[in-house]
Structure 1
Amino acid sequence: MYRHNPAHAQSRPYSSPPPVYRVYHDPAGPAKLSTTVVHALSDCLDVDVTDGSVTLYDVVDPDALDAIFRPKHDGTPRASGSLSFVVYGHRVTVHADGQILIEPPERYR
């Protein structure tokens, strides 16, 4: 899990960038894609998901996010595509195969 600490990052200018957080969403599972993203962000931000402090509404419509990667009308899964957006300074990239990557702010600057 990544925890942002600007003072620590500045004291080690040649250190490697913070790790990318990876999680996979199971489209056949009970959770919506947007719920999986919120849980992953909560883990990255080290906050309790039940306190409601992590939300996507200011950046992306959660229902639209769920719909974009929903299986096609004939039931076949989406084979390709990705969507990236920034939430709380973290770049979130959602891939059609269910992979979700969350990059901390220092990683992509």
Structure 2
Amino acid sequence: MALASIPTKQYIEQREEGYWIKGSRVSLDSVVYSFLEGETPEVIAQNFPLLSLEQVYGAITFYLANREFVNTYLQNGEAEFGQLQKDCQQRSPQLYQLLMAGQARLSQAS
């Protein structure tokens, strides 16, 4: 008996400079950070209702298979975000202070 060829699925796609769960608006970053914070795939799927459990497992599998690459990608994103924060602080110090105060209030509320 000959086995039929089973197509493989791709769960991650690159769009511009980022990586996304294929066919969704959810970034790979979001799933990976949730996973690294200790959330189970089931909880991640509940937190991102646009994703199926299969897509979450696919994203986690992609991360585990490409850990060094994805970690570098995430570090680069964090550095870019830090630079954007610094630029915002320099261009509009009052707005930056308001944003930081709002963030502090949110942190205290949770």
Aligning the two structures, in what range does the TM-score lie when normalised by the shorter sequence? under 0.3
Q: Which has the larger radius of gyration?
A: 2
**Does 1 or 2 have the higher relative contact order (CA < 8 Å, sep 6+)?**
1
Whichever structure has more helix as a proportion of its residues is 2
Whichever structure has more strand as a proportion of its residues is 1
Q: Structure 2 length normalisation: TM-score?
A: 0.26
